[in-house]
Structure 1
Amino acid sequence: MKNLKYIIAVIFLFVAELAFACEACKQQQPRLTQGFTHGTGPDSRWDWLIVAVIALITVYTLIYSIKYIVKPGEKDKNHIKYTFLE
């Protein structure tokens, strides 16, 4: 189990290194996204609109995922989930 923690830590550090932009890409990015991604960034206002809509959808689904994991609210004893829980 100790090895698993080290493997997860190494994978996390590797992914974190890849997630941030290199020096050449940092110079090409707009000020808002500078340092976060590789490439030149959004070119037009439509690109920013698409990014904003995707971000809103992601936050919305994250909030509702956490909400229904923490407190699902299903109380019917005939619900299919009880077939797996028993």
Structure 2
Amino acid sequence: MKKLLLTLFTTLLSLAAFACPVCEKQQPKVLQGISHGAGPQSDWDYVLVWATMFVVVLCLFFSIKWLVRPGEKGSDHIKRTVLDF
């Protein structure tokens, strides 16, 4: 059941990630087919997107790192509820 829900979720997510034909025509060559809405208005839009991606990847890295190796040795620590699940 878990695999079915995960497969269904990823399939729907991948279908929603593609741009519609109207939005695709408005995008620059680099973003055609993967982005919705109007294209970037200035070069600052690209800077903001890359900075946001960097922060998200950094947060994801440290979240996984500290979940796998929390550093606390106590068996009653709150992180153990996630690891023992």
Displacement after TM superposition at 1:30 (Å) = 1.4
Q: 1:18 aligns with which of 16, 21, 26?
A: 16
1:68 is the counterpart of 2:62: no
AA at the equivalent of 1:41: G
AA at the equivalent of 2:77: K
Which range moves more in the overlay, 11-20 or 39-48? 11-20
Q: Which residues of 2 match residues 1-86 of structure 1 at below 5 A?
A: 1=1, 5-75=3-73, 77=74, 81=77
Alpha carbons of structure 1 residues 80 and 8: separation in structure 2 relative to 1, 3 Å: closer
Alpha-carbon separation, structure 1, partners of 2:12 and 2:18: 11
Structure 1: gaps of 5 or more residues: none
Residue-pair matches, total = 80
User: What is the RMSD of the two structures over their aligned residues, measured on CA atoms?
Assistant: 2.4
- Which structure: larger Rg? 1
Alpha-carbon separation, structure 2, partners of 1:63 and 1:8: 22
- Cα distance per residue 1:5-64 (max 9 Å; x no partner): 444433332222111101222221112222111112211112111111111100110111
Per the normalisation by structure 1, the TM-score is 0.71
AA at the equivalent of 1:70: V
Percent identical: 38
Displacement after TM superposition at 1:80 (Å) = 5.8
